[in-house]
């Protein structure tokens, strides 16, 4: 069953987020079971919302990769909220927001172009 995770922390700013993402090296070693990831910042700090294929896969990512990245960067870890997904839908438009992930992975513009009907 898919799960949603919600992570909020006043301790993580954009610079630290970028350092965490770089340390995780998700471009070359994607997180098994991760379906979506969104991150934003407001007056309360960072807010990350993810959808995962299962709680088991998310907990493995926490143990094997995310907590060690926080420890390496000397950032206090805040436990995320885990919520069982009642429904999960992704539209074709999601592809417009995909980050470029290196050679062999389509960029957002390539995904957008491929999803347009031929004229």
For the stretch 59-106, pLDDT in tens is: 999 999 999 999 999 999 999 999 999 999 888 888 777 765 444 434
pLDDT digits (tens, 9 = 90+) for 37-52: 999 999 999 999 999 9
For residues 81 and 108, state if they share a domain.
no
For residues 60 and 78, state if they share a domain.
yes
Tally the residues of the chain. Answer: 119
For residues 59 and 117, state if they share a domain.
no
The label of the residue with tokens 């898919």 reads 2
pLDDT band at 118 (very low <50, low <70, confident <90, very high): very low
- So what's the pLDDT on residue 70? 97
What is the distance between the alpha carbons of residues 21 and 78, in angstroms, rounded to a whole number? Answer: 16
Backbone φ/ψ region at 33: left (φ over 0), alpha (ψ -120 to 50), beta: left
- So what's the pLDDT on residue 107? 40
pLDDT digits (tens, 9 = 90+) for 14-27: 999 999 999 999 88
For residues 29 and 83, state if they share a domain.
yes
pLDDT digits (tens, 9 = 90+) for 91-100: 888 877 776 5
Count of structural domains, the chain: 2
CA 113 to chain centre: 23
Q: DSSP letters of 37-68?
A: EEEEEETTEEEEEEEES-HHHHHHHIIIIIHH
Q: Which domain holds residue 99?
A: 92-119
CB 95 within 8 A of CB 115: yes
- So what's the pLDDT on residue 81? 98
């Amino acid at each position: 069953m898919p799960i949603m995770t919600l992570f909020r922390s006043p301790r993580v700013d954009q610079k630290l987020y970028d350092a965490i993402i770089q340390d995780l090296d998700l471009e070359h070693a994607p997180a098994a079971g991760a379906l979506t990831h969104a991150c934003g910042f407001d007056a309360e700090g960072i807010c990350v919302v993810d959808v995962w294929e299962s709680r088991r896969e998310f907990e493995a990512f926490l143990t094997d990769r995310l907590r060690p990245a926080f420890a390496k960067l000397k950032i206090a870890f805040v436990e995320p909220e885990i919520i069982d997904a009642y429904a999960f839908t992704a539209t074709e438009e999601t592809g417009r927001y995909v980050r470029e992930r290196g050679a062999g992975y389509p960029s957002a513009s390539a995904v957008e172009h491929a999803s347009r009907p031929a004229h």
